[in-house]
A and B are shown apart, each in its own frame.
Chain A
Amino acid sequence: MIQLSHVSQVFAGRQGQVHALDDIDLEVRRNEFVTLVGRSGCGKSTMLRMIAGLLTPTSGTVTVAGEPVTKPRRDVSFMFQRPALLPWRPVLENVLLPVEILGLDRDSHRRRAHELLELVGLAGFEKRLPHELSGGMQQRVSLCRSLIQNPNVLLMDEPFSALDALTREELSVELQRIRMEQETTIVFVTHSIEEAVLLADRVVVLSARPGRLRRIVEVDIPRPRTLGHNAHADRVTEVSAELHELLMPVRTGETA
């Protein structure tokens, strides 16, 4: 579904050039859930933005569904770290924003918006304004908005990182449930190892400066996965430990 080949990104910084990403090769299969982890500054968000068509790689090619990405695609949606809701639009109208911009059929999508809101536990909140909702609820609305056009690919840039731990876990579980009902290829950026393991089919570990693909870890724990009551907690811990080891030496090596 998504293919990155020899992708590099160089930013012109104040002290010369900064290699954000260096020669990345990655293939994400259809309906796969891939998480990108790495320390801050490893270029994981940059990678996501290139897949989204918000950023053009300095060299190499990115393709989605076999077509080179040159600008944002209609079948790819992006979810941000912040809810990015329009403060004057009630919840339902916020969810329907992509429908308006992409010129899709409003009536059928209105029904779908109601379903999505129900799925994330926001039934009855359709007419509320964003400022009347908690941070977690706002991010749920944002999630519904990114799913409204039935995207083939959902790109998520640390979507739960601004939330408290409990809300975050709740949303991780909800995201898995939604995904079981609706097949979508997801690339999810996070700096939380636990989150990465909990959600992913494969965890892609990036090293920092320049961002290189360090390791891809398969997570074969059956779904649905939760952090608390989980028969597979041991396996989650095991994979997490492996990832920790992958990420930590890089850090000591760098600071030394």
Chain B
Amino acid sequence: MSGVGGVNGVDASRARTEPAAAAPAEARGAGGTGIRERLADWGFPVLGMVVVIALWWLATVVFSIEKFLVPSPKDVVDAFTEHAGFLLAQSWVTLLETVEGFALSIVVGVPIAVLIASSRLIERMIYPLLLVVNAVPKIAIAPILVVWMGFGQLPKIVMVFLLCFFPIVISTASGLRSTPAELVELVRSLDASRVQAFFKVRFPYALPQVLVGFKVAISLAVIGAVIAEFVGADAGLGFVIVQSGASADTPLAFAAMALLGLISIVLFYGLAALERRLLPWAEENR
């Protein structure tokens, strides 16, 4: 009974595969390009990274470079695992400073950009001042911030703010000024109030540009936090790097640097993902 059933089963499956042979072949072909695409997207970058890390490792072994000069990848990973809790806590400190300073620069920068874009008079008053402030290298201000505000979180947040503020103001203001003439006329022909024109047309139209400013700013934000921590801090990844430099614990410094890179990347791509979600109509997101 079971034997007959088995034979029938085989026959049936053969009958099914033959006429349908073309379809699975096509599906297989499509799967192949899918894998190739995924390989191009993820595989090659990962491969590149693996090769570089392998070369790094090889170099530390072949040239027997001292651990305190250039640690091997394994030393760095060991530093990670050894100080995991500590590093995580310091990362959290730096991340908070970065995000708070960035948020502050949005809260202050966007309204100022609105003012600049809405009035030529205000623009003429504020703009040269902004340029002068921006022309001063921010690192030069860092020690003074410590004098003013001590070793706490505040001078770090202010430093992040100083770095983020300018790109956000510039790109928001230029976005607000780039409303196409036909949309300006449309709003006028409907006799819209200034407030309506702003919220219904000008501001949404500026958003892609605003996001450009945010993305520039977020990359600078992490730099600002680390600079401020270098100058005077008792916590944060910048503090860890300074401390481990002083005690020649280079693997720990490398681990902290890797974490800084990770924070930067996560913040930037988080923002990029938010942009794609919120502004699917913007040209660069289509």
Contacts and interface: CB of A to CB of B under 8 A. Distances in A.
Given A72-B191, A88-B279, A131-B281, A54 B185 contact: yes
Contact of B196 (A73, A81, A86, A101): A101
Interface in B184-207: 185-192, 196, 200-201, 204-205, 207
Interface of A: 52-54, 71-74, 77-78, 80-82, 84, 86-88, 97-98, 100-102, 129-131
Interface in B254-282: 279-282
B204 A71 contact: no
A102 B186 contact: no
A72 B190 contact: yes
Given A87-B281, A88-B279, A52 B200 contact: no
A86 B189 contact: no
Given A72-B189, A73-B191, A74-B191, 19 more contacts: A53-B191, A72-B188, A78-B185, A78-B186, A80-B182, A80-B185, A84-B183, A86-B200, A87-B281, A88-B204, A88-B207, A88-B279, A97-B190, A97-B200, A100-B200, A101-B187, A101-B196, A130-B281, A131-B281
Given A86-B183, A101-B200, A52 B286 contact: no
A98 B190 CA distance: 7
A82 B187 CA distance: 14
Contacts of B182: 80-82, 84
A78 B184 CA distance: 13
Contacts, number: 56
Question: For the complex, would chain B's binding face be called helix, strand, loop or mixed by DSSP majority?
Answer: helix
Given A71-B191, A101-B200, A84 B185 contact: yes
Interface string B86-106: 000000000000000000000
Interface string B20-60: 00000000000000000000000000000000000000000
Contact of A52 (B189, B204, B282): B189
B186 to A, nearest CB: 5
Given A74-B191, A101-B196, A84 B186 contact: yes
Contacts of B201: 86
Contacts of A80: 182, 185-186
A97 B190 CA distance: 9
5 contacts: A54-B188, A80-B185, A87-B282, A97-B200, A102-B190
Contacts of A81: 182
Interface residues of B, number: 22
A81 B181 CA distance: 12
A142 B204 CA distance: 19
A88 B188 CA distance: 19
A129 B285 CA distance: 13
A131 B285 CA distance: 12
B185 to A, nearest CB: 7
A50 B190 CA distance: 14
A53 B189 CA distance: 8
A179 to B, nearest CB: 20
Contacts of B286: 131
Interface string B241-265: 0000000000000000000000000
Contact of A86 (B190, B204, B280): B204
A82 B280 CA distance: 22
A74 B190 CA distance: 7
B200 A54 contact: no
A87 B201 CA distance: 10
Contact of B189 (A78, A87, A88): A78
A181 B80 CA distance: 75
Given A54-B189, A101-B190, A129 B200 contact: no
A131 B279 CA distance: 13
A87 B208 CA distance: 11
A97 B188 CA distance: 13
Interface in B150-208: 180, 182-183, 185-192, 196, 200-201, 204-205, 207
B60 to A, nearest CB: 52
Nearest to B180: A84
A88 B207 CA distance: 10
Ordered nearest first, which 9 A-B pairs have the shortest CB separation?
A84-B182, A78-B189, A72-B191, A88-B281, A87-B281, A101-B190, A101-B192, A84-B186, A82-B182
